[in-house]
Amino acid sequence: MQRRAFLQAGLASVTLAAIPASLRASEANIALLESNLIYLSPYQSDGSLSGCQAEVWYAMLGADVFVVTASESWRAQAPLKGLTRTKLWVGDLGIWKSADYESLPTVVAEARIETDEKVLELALQQFGYKYSREWGKWGPRFSRGLADGSRTMLRYRLSA
13 part of a folded domain: no
Q: What average pLDDT does this structure show over 15-42?
A: 67
pLDDT at residue 13 is higher than 70: no
Number of domains present in the structure of the chain: 1
The residue range of the domain holding 136 is 23-158
CATH value at residue 116: 2.30.110.10
Which of 86-90, 112-116, 132-136 has the weakest average pLDDT? 86-90
Q: Given this model, what pLDDT does residue 8 score?
A: 47
pLDDT of residue 114: 97
Residue 82 located in a structural domain: yes
Please give the pLDDT value at position 134. 93
Instruction: Provide the edge-to-edge strand list for the sheet that holds 151-158.
Output: 54-56, 38-42, 85-90, 106-114, 151-158, 64-70, 59-61
> What is the identity of the amino acid at 63?
A
Whole-prediction pTM:
0.78
- Is residue 2 domain-resident? no
pLDDT (0 to 100) of residue 89 = 85
Residue 114 lies in a domain: yes
